[in-house]
Amino acid sequence: MMRQNKLFNNTRTSLALWYAGVMGLILSLLGMGVYKAISHAHWVALDNELESVAGTLHDSLELKLKQPGKIEPIIGKLLPNLCLVGTSCITDRFNSQRHGAYKGANAIRPTAPHILSAVERGNYYARLYDTSGRLIAIAGDYPEGLPQSLNTESWQTLSNRTNNIYHQISLSLHTQTREDWGYFQVGRSIADFEDYLGRVKLVLLLGLPTSLILVGFASWWLAGLAMQPIYRSYQQIEQFTADAAHELRTPLAATQATLESALLVDLDRQETKDILTTIERENKRLIQLVGDLLLLARMDRKAIPLRRQLFCLNDLVSDLVEELEPLAIANQITLTNEFRVKKSLNVSGDCDQLYRLVYNLIVNAIQHTPSDGRVTVILERDASDALIKVKDTGIGIAPEHQKKIFDRFYRVQSDRSRNTGGSGLGLAIAKSIARAHSFKLSVRSELGQGSTFIFQLPLAINSKVNF
């Protein structure tokens, strides 16, 4: 249905694109936020882990150190793979690191299991410096190519020659007698951490375009859904314009044809009068139609304010019956009113508009009832409402038409030139007026038996008391 209209398709596409763009932006920001949060949480966890390993080692070391810058043999039990600088173990270790086993000659080997097994498991290394900043010993899983000069900043992130990143903490060390011993560093490779973040980044980077494609499809579908009511009302307007144009053309064409034929011949006085009468009739039809269209348009825009006032329904019904009696007589219909209430009923509303509504109902009833039929306007009430029922013994309305007759220009017999001359706006206006007042208008009808239009209006307070 929507495929036929280019404007709607273009709007749908641009809506879908905008929606997908905005969603894409939101998702990207969200992805970045998630990545930052994960990365931050990992850094915090890493720092905590390093801090606790370093703190434990540091405290244990300080209990054992006696002389500044001197490594006691017992230290080998605290730090795995401890190896003193200046001995061959460092070189050996670098060579054997990749093959797993460490076979350094001067290593002070730990006795298994080591109390600080975390150092062995988690790619940790430890470095000991004396007070002058000279590297004395290293332990654990010592990384190749890491700068050896002392940096006393607490937290550092370093990289080695192969661009592996390491994170380390520096602490100052004291002897048992609180003399300065030197410095102690504990660090670890963050390759596993970087790996994990890399995977998170990859998932986010792949997930984003995938979700954007899904968002694109969803927004295309949603835009179509959102535009359906707009498209339907656009179609209704198109239909309305076409119907209005058609209705306007009929009297205009009739007037034109009359004028053209009149211009061809010399007319006597009576003929001129006849022609002018025809033109007047068509003109009246035009004025009526344009007036109805204007009224509907104003009611749609709520441009007509409701002038609510208290008035008596009994008077309204009697006035209408009186006014339409000649029309009923002309159609050989018996038009009567029937008041099924003891007292007069008052309602609050726009008297002129409500008059027009009931007028349309009675005129319809007269027009759709064959000669010798009856039209009765009944006034009754229930607990809180007044009811005006316009009942006829006419042609009736089939169930499939009963809802549609309130649509603009809808007529059960589609022949627009039939004798009632109606434009199909009467009930649409009636419904609009009822809606503006929030009153109910409904129909009950049986084909061939007649119809009853029921108009339900809430009673004004004093009428309710009189019930």
364 contributes a contact to ligand ADP by CB under 6 A: yes
3-state secondary structure of 385: strand
User: What is the spatial distance between Cα 52 and Cα 59, in angstroms, rounded to a whole number?
Assistant: 11
- Stretch of residues binding ligand ADP (CB under 6 A), selected from 199-207, 262-270, 333-341, 416-424: 416-424
Tokens of residue 302, six digits: 């709520």
What x/- string results for residues 433 through 452 when contact with ligand ADP is judged by CB under 6 A?
A: ------------------x-
Q: Does 394 bind ligand ADP (CB under 6 A)?
A: yes
CA separation for the pair 153, 156 (Å, rounded): 7
Please name which of 386, 387, 361 lies closest in space to residue 375, comparing C-alpha atoms: 361
Identity of the residue, 31 or 426, whose beta carbon is nearer to ligand ADP in the bound complex: 426
In this chain, which stretch among 4-12, 43-51, 339-347, 359-367 interacts with ligand ADP, using CB under 6 A? 359-367
Closest to ligand ADP by CB, 156 vs 283, is 283
Residue pair 135/69 in contact by the 8 Å Cβ criterion: no
- What is the largest distance, in Å, between two alpha-carbon atoms of the chain? 143
Query: Does the footprint of ligand ADP cover residue 368 (CB under 6 A)?
Result: yes
Determine which helix (DSSP H) or strand (DSSP E) holds 443, and give its type and residue range.
Answer: strand 440-446
CB 397 within 8 A of CB 361: no
- Taking CB atoms, the residue at the shortest distance from ligand ADP is 422
In the complex, the smallest distance separating the C-beta of residue 324 from ligand ADP, rounded to whole angstroms, is: 13
Position 328 contacts ligand ADP (CB under 6 A): no
The type of residue at 451 is S
Interaction of residue 428 with ligand ADP, rule CB under 6 A: yes
397 lies in the site for ligand ADP, by CB under 6 A: yes
Cα atoms found within 13 Å of the Cα of residue 173, Cβ hemisphere only = 35
Nearer to ligand ADP, 215 or 425 (CB): 425
83 contacts 106 by C-beta, under 8 angstroms: yes
Q: CB of 397: closest distance to ligand ADP in angstroms? A: 5
Among candidates 202, 285, 275, which has minimal Cα distance to 250?
A: 285
Interface with ligand ADP, residue 222, by CB under 6 A: no
Distance of closest approach, residue 30 Cβ to ligand ADP, in angstroms: 55
Residues that bind ligand ADP in the complex, under the rule CB under 6 A: 360, 364-365, 368, 392, 394-395, 397, 405, 410-413, 420, 422-428, 451
